[in-house]
Amino acid sequence: MFATIRARLVAWSILVFTFLLTGLGLFLRHELEAIVIGSVDGHLHSEMVLISGLLEEEEGRIETELSEAAVGEYAVPLSGHYYQIIDERGRIVAASPSLTAVGAALDVPAPSIEPIYSYLTGPGKTRLRMLVQSFALASGRTVTIQATEPLEDAFAMLASFTGTLFAVIPAVGVVSALGVWLISLRSFKPLRTFTSRIGEITERNLHDRLDTEGLAGELAPLAESFNTMIARLEASFERQRRFLSEASHELRTPTSIIKTCCDVALARERGEEEYRETLRKISDATAHLSATISRIIDILRLEGGGFTPRTGPVSLDKLAADIKRLIEPAAAARRISLSVRGEGDVVVTADPRRLAEALTNLVDNAVKYNRPGGSVVIGVSSSGSRAVIAVEDTGTGMSPAELEKVFDRFYRGGNARGRLPGSGLGLAIVKAAVESMGGSVEAESTEGKGSTFRIILPLGGGDEP
């Protein structure tokens, strides 16, 4: 029932308006009642003053000259306009004709010098407002006067006001709900247009963007956020398309080699040595295909969050020394000097295997793309809360355009493409692996002079396992 914002707005508006109007109505009724009863009390006080002024005492008897007070409503039987005078012994010495004509009397109250206002039910079951006050005569005797006014008219006025109030509150609630509904209908029109426009965007037109011009202030930030999200999706789709295209290209080459070798071998009868050579080529192509598929799976797991690093304390100085020993034979074959430069024992918390693979990849690339007689330096250092392991080479370097794409999947620079074996996934895997351990990778290069790659990780202590 309240599934839409518009319905909730209408419901809340009815609730709020009803609450406010009911509160206002009750307040006004209370104030009106105070005014009406105050008016009745004021009239009773005037009557009390009039009646007390007509009292006299002669030879010990209380005499009254009430001809002036025994007229009008006081002369109509059971009119509700009553007065009654009681002496100090509690005897009624005088009463209004409206009481005596029917033999009625008011209950005798306790004497009180202070005026006392009260409600009571009088003769004829009439609701009355009564004032009671005692007065001292010149002789020292005390008389108590009662004066009453009927409340039928006052209560009728209050009942009429209450009835009008209960009729107005629902009407105002309905009108306010209708107003809120119409206002929300008009206010949500841009949102409906906005929603319709969003629904038109699919994977085929991710380049489209929502126009933020003229949008309401509340919708403009939403449109900008949506455009940002669509831009990210478009970039993600583009990366996916490029990845599929490049993966297909990388996988096509070894599969083509395997098919060609099989076709040639099956074309005619061949000698044992030829078959062996064909099988070696198929084996090499299969190994390359398997390595490429493994690397694709690795990078998909790393970038997709399907890999959880098994972290532990790793000494970067020891790791650098181990990798130097591993790569040194290949470096020596190309007359490339390989050295380690450190600042003491630097320990990080990382996945030992993944970190070793990443650093091995960087050092192997530094040797592979170096010039004969060049050098590679593995530097280990720390700065603040970060540990840095840098691989510097004196190779061919990269142009700014190549450096910008160096961590892209399947990207291979002009110096490597077609000249050296590789899939173009190595640096992308290095970046994904290091980032999965909370670190980052940076690259600097000067064309013709060499490159520097840095792995940056948070420092972490502990004994190596």
> Which of 129, 157, 185 lies at the terminal end of a domain, its last residue?
157
Query: Residue 451: inside a domain, yes or no?
Result: yes
Q: At what angle do helices 5-53 and 152-187 cross, to 10 degrees?
A: 160
For residue 464, what pLDDT is reported? 43
Same domain, yes or no: 149 and 291: no
pTM value surpassing 0.75: no
Higher pLDDT: 177 or 189? It is: 177
Q: Domain limits at 232?
A: 228-304
Question: Contacts for 249-255 with beta carbons within 8 Å, 24 or more apart?
Answer: 249/410, 250/292, 250/410, 250/423, 250/424, 251/289, 251/292, 251/293, 253/288, 254/285, 254/286, 254/288, 254/289, 254/292, 255/285, 255/289
pLDDT tens per residue, range 132-178: 999 888 777 888 999 999 998 888 888 898 888 888 888 887 888 78
Q: How far is CA 189 from the centre of its chain?
A: 24
pLDDT 10s digits, 404-433? 888 877 676 655 544 555 567 778 888 888
**Which among 113, 100, 39, 117 is positioned nearest to 64, based on CA atoms?**
100
Q: Of the ranges 46-55, 107-116, 421-430, which one carries the lowest mean pLDDT score?
A: 421-430
- Asked if 319 and 392 sit in the same domain, the reply is yes
Q: Are residues 291 and 322 in the same domain?
A: no
Residues 363 and 280 in one domain: no
Q: In the predicted model, what is the mean pLDDT of residues 360-388?
A: 90
**In terms of domains, do 441 and 339 share one?**
yes
Number of domains making up the chain: 3
Do 397 and 291 have their domain in common?
no
Q: Does the residue 190 lie in any domain? A: no
Spatial CB neighbours of 142, under 8 Å, sequence gap ≥ 6: 87, 88, 111, 134, 135, 136
Query: Are the C-beta atoms of residues 377 and 460 closer than 8 Å to each other?
Result: no
On whether residue 142 sits in a domain, the answer given is yes
Task: Tell me the Ramachandran region of residue 149: left when phi exceeds 0, alpha when psi lies from -120 to 50, beta otherwise.
Answer: beta
Q: What is the mean pLDDT of the chain?
A: 80
Q: Is the pLDDT of residue 106 over 80?
A: yes
| Domain assignment of residue 213, yes or no | no
Q: What is the pLDDT of residues 259-316, one digit of tens each?
A: 788 877 777 777 778 778 888 888 877 877 776 777 677 666 666 555 566 888 888 9
For position 122, what pLDDT does the model report? 86
Q: Does residue 140 share a domain with residue 68?
A: yes
Q: Which residues of 16-55 are buried (b: 16+ CB within 10 A; e: fewer)?
A: ebbeebeeebeeeeeeebeebbeebeeebeebbeebbeeb
β-sheet bridge partners, residue 338: 376
**Where do runs of H (alpha helix) occur along 145-219?**
152-187, 189-199
What does the pLDDT read at residue 375?
92
The CATH number that applies at residue 234 is 1.10.287.130
Q: Are residues 300 and 318 in the same domain?
A: no
Q: Measure the CA dihedral 302/306/311/314, to 10°.
A: -20
At 277 the pLDDT is 83
CATH number at residue 354: 3.30.565.10
